[in-house]
């Protein structure tokens, strides 16, 4: 269908109606092919990214023993080292409170002998009341309490994967 | 030399010239052609244009901030490569390796400090470079694409600093990354997932150290080098360094 002009260059003719129809069909097939390829390759790529999510974690268990009842006399506040919690025992029961700042995860320090402030974060100065309510600083949330129970051997167990939303004390 | 009289002696005499010709890949030309060919015929020099506008050479316009950032990157690659000979990304050994570099390894303390201070300086100079580009309006068309590449380079520089910060495995490193990964978890919807993937777990431990190490010594430097290549290439394609149009 092509012709040559005087310079010898090839000039393509205008499309005929038949070819336009053909073009539509080709366009459709092309779109389908690109869609299938995108879904296939894209899906495979997204699934491959799961490689980076570890399936087994070698981290300490979230539920752990903190000791016998006798370790925690009435009126005591005892920090469990390396676990980021404090066990508080009062006359009406005991509870486990998180020592991980709700702002950016620093380890907060219990404050001794202060009527209002129970905890303070050394990183950005957040302060918390004795029950864990935010008193000041950038912390957005109160310190959570964790579920606590006594197992059949009489040891106290804290489970940091379960938050004690109602803030109930363990009666002992 | 005639075809019949091939002599070993003459071909040996010819050897140095042959070697030189194989490297320079060009014959004689005029003085100007020679000078141009010396630039674009050399892989390391060809990044630079053969001719530059006299205003591009005014030191007070760019202060050479981009080039200084690039040289700091080269220093960091070289010193980092040497540090890798003595560093192990394990929670048991990392801190001790770092202390050994400071007290036991010959020139180790210099090496570690060169790496550390160059890293700080690179962040500062990349930032100053960005300020210069902004104040001279060099981010405007046709250089807007290169500005975006530059923003990515700034981010890569910051991620390199952040990942390198964990590697000494001291208290500063541990808490800085605890805080940093918690900042990432404030991201809407994906936050906690990003933190988990970044640390390879729920807390800063062995998996986090290994991940940060791989990012720090392989992934991010490769990304930085690639983006640097595009960044430099685009300077040429976008019409050279921006400069005052007249004196």
Q: Please check whether residues B181 and B88 belong to one and the same domain.
A: yes
pLDDT for position B245: 76
- Whether the CB of B175 is below 8 Å from some CB of chain A: the reply is yes
Going through A21-150 in order, the beta strands assigned E by DSSP cover: 63-68, 77-80, 85-90, 93-98, 109-110, 119-120, 127-128, 134-136, 145-150
User: Do B38 and B141 sit in the same domain of this protein?
Assistant: no
The reply to whether B4 and B99 lie within a common domain is no
pTM of the model: 0.83
**Residue at B179 is within a domain:** yes
Residue found by looking up tokens 């303070």 in the block:
A120
Residue B242 domain-assigned? no
Q: Is B207 on the interface with A (CB under 8 A)?
A: yes
Alpha-carbon gap: B6 to the closest alpha carbon of chain A (Å): 51
Q: What is the pLDDT of residue B1?
A: 47
pLDDT at A1: 43
Region label for B137, one of left (φ > 0), alpha (ψ between -120 and 50) or beta (otherwise): left
DSSP A123-147: TT--EE-TTS-EEESS--SPPPEEE
Nearest to B202 among A52, A59, A106 (CB): A59
Q: What pLDDT, on a 0 to 100 scale, did the predictor assign at position B4?
A: 59
Within-domain flag for B156: yes
Alpha helices in B49-140 (DSSP H): 59-62, 65-83, 94-103, 108-135
Q: What are phi and psi of B3, to 5 degrees?
A: -65, -35
Chain A contact present for B200, CB below 8 A: yes
A123 reaches B (C-beta below 8 A): yes
Residues of B in contact with A83 (CB under 8 A): none
* Cβ under 8 Å to A: B residues 74-133: none
CA A150, CA B22: separation in Å to the nearest integer?
83
Q: Is the pLDDT of residue B92 over 50?
A: yes
Mean pLDDT of chain B: 92
Q: Is 80 exceeded by the pLDDT of residue B133?
A: yes
The model's confidence at residue B49, banded by pLDDT at 50, 70 and 90, is confident
Digit-coded pLDDT (tens) for B173-197: 999 999 999 999 999 999 999 999 9
**Co-location of B122 and B13 in the same domain:** no
Average pLDDT, integer, range B78-85: 97
- What is the number of H-type helices and E-type strands within chain B? 11, 0
Q: Does residue B46 sit in the same domain as residue B69?
A: no
Is there a single domain that holds both residue B43 and residue B94? no
pLDDT at B117: 98
Task: Say if the Cβ atoms of B201 and A59 lie within 8 Å.
Answer: yes
Choosing from B11, B28, B51, the residue where a domain stops is B51
Q: Which of B55-69, B143-157, B163-177 has the lowest mean pLDDT?
A: B55-69
Q: Examine residue B26 and state whether it is found in any structural domain, yes or no.
A: yes
Q: How confident is the model at residue B97 (pLDDT cuts 50, 70, 90)?
A: very high
Per the model's pLDDT, the better-predicted residue between A86 and B29 turns out to be A86
Residue B28 has pLDDT above 80, yes or no: no
Give domain status of residue B209, yes or no: yes
Q: Please tell me whether residues B205 and B102 are part of one structural domain.
A: yes
Cα–Cα–Cα angle for A80, B176, A107, nearest 5°?
Answer: 20
Domain that holds residue B15: 1-51
What's residue A136's pLDDT?
94
User: CA of A49: how far to CAs of A38, A44, A52, B191, B211, in Å?
Assistant: 16, 9, 6, 17, 15
- Least confident among A148-162, B192-206, B231-245: B231-245
Contacts with A123 from chain B: Cβ below 8 Å: 175, 179
Any domain includes B245: no
Q: Is residue B214 part of a domain?
A: yes
Q: Are residues B19 and B111 in the same domain?
A: no
Task: State whether residue B197 sits within 8 Å of chain A by CB.
Answer: yes
Same domain, B5 and B70: no
State the Cα torsion A144-A141-B180-A112 to the nearest 10°.
Answer: -60
Q: Does B191 touch chain A (CB under 8 A)?
A: no
B176 in the same domain as B232: yes
Question: Quick one: B44 and B70 in the same domain?
Answer: no
Lowest mean pLDDT among A12-21, A38-47, B109-118, B218-227: A12-21
Interface confidence (ipTM) of the complex = 0.75
Whether chain A has a CB inside 8 Å of the CB on B178: the answer is yes
Q: What is the pLDDT of residue B31?
A: 82
* Whether residue B65 has pLDDT greater than 90: yes
Q: Any idea what DSSP says for residue B216?
A: I
**B121 and B4 share a domain?**
no
Using an 8 Å CB-CB cutoff, list chain A residues near B206.
58
Instruction: For residue B243, tell me if it sits in a domain.
Output: no
Q: What percent of chain B has a predicted confidence (pLDDT) above 90?
A: 73
Q: What is the sign of the dihedral through the CA atoms of A84, A89, A90 and A93?
A: positive
Q: Is A104 on the interface with B (CB under 8 A)?
A: yes
Residues of chain A with pLDDT under 50: 1-2
Whole-number pLDDT of residue B27: 66
Residues in B closer than 8 angstroms to A105, CB to CB, are 178-179, 181-182
Shortest CA distance from B182: residue in chain A: A104
Q: Is the pLDDT of residue B80 over 50?
A: yes
State which residue of chain B sits closest to A84, comparing Cα positions.
Answer: B203
Number of independent structural domains in chain B: 2
Q: What is the CATH number of the domain that holds B162?
A: 1.20.810.10
């Amino acid at each position: 269908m092509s012709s040559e002009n005087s310079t010898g260059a090839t000039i393509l003719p205008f499309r005929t109606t038949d070819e336009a129809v053909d073009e539509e069909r080709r366009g459709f097939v092309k779109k389908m092919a690109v869609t299938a390829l995108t879904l296939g390759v894209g899906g495979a790529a997204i699934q491959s990214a799961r490689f980076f999510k570890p399936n087994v974690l070698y981290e300490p268990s979230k539920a752990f023993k903190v000791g016998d009842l006798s370790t925690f006399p009435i009126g005591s506040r005892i920090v469990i080292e390396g676990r980021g919690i404090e066990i508080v025992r009062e006359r009406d029961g005991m509870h486990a409170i998180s020592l991980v700042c709700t702002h950016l995860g620093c380890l907060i320090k219990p404050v001794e002998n202060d009527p209002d402030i129970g905890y303070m974060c050394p990183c950005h100065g957040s302060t918390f009341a004795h029950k864990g309510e935010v008193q000041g600083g950038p912390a957005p949330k109160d310190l959570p309490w964790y579920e606590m129970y006594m197992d059949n051997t009489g040891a106290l167990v804290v489970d940091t994967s379960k938050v004690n939303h109602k803030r109930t004390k363990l009666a002992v | 030399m005639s075809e019949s009289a091939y002599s070993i002696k003459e071909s040996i005499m010819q050897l140095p010239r042959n070697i030189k010709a194989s490297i320079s890949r060009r014959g004689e030309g005029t003085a100007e052609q020679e000078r141009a060919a010396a630039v674009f015929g050399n892989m390391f020099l060809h990044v630079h244009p053969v001719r530059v506008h006299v205003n591009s050479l005014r030191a007070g316009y760019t202060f050479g901030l981009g080039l200084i950032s690039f040289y700091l990157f080269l220093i960091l690659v070289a010193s980092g490569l040497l540090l890798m000979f003595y560093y192990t990304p394990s929670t048991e050994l990392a801190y001790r390796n770092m202390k050994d570099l400071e007290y036991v390894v010959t020139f180790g303390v210099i090496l570690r400090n060169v790496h550390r201070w160059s890293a700080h300086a690179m962040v500062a100079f990349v930032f100053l470079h960005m300020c210069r580009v902004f104040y001279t309006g060099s981010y405007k068309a046709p250089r807007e694409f290169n500005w975006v590449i530059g923003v990515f380079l700034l981010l890569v520089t910051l991620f390199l600093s952040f990942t390198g910060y964990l590697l000494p495995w001291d208290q500063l490193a541990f808490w800085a990354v605890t805080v940093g990964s918690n900042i990432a978890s404030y991201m809407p919807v994906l936050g906690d997932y990003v933190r988990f993937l970044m640390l390879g777990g729920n807390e800063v431990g062995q998996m986090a150290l290994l991940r940060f190490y791989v990012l720090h010594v392989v992934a991010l430097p490769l990304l930085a080098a690639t983006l640097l290549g595009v960044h430099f290439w685009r300077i040429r394609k976008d019409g050279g360094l921006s400069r005052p149009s007249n004196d």
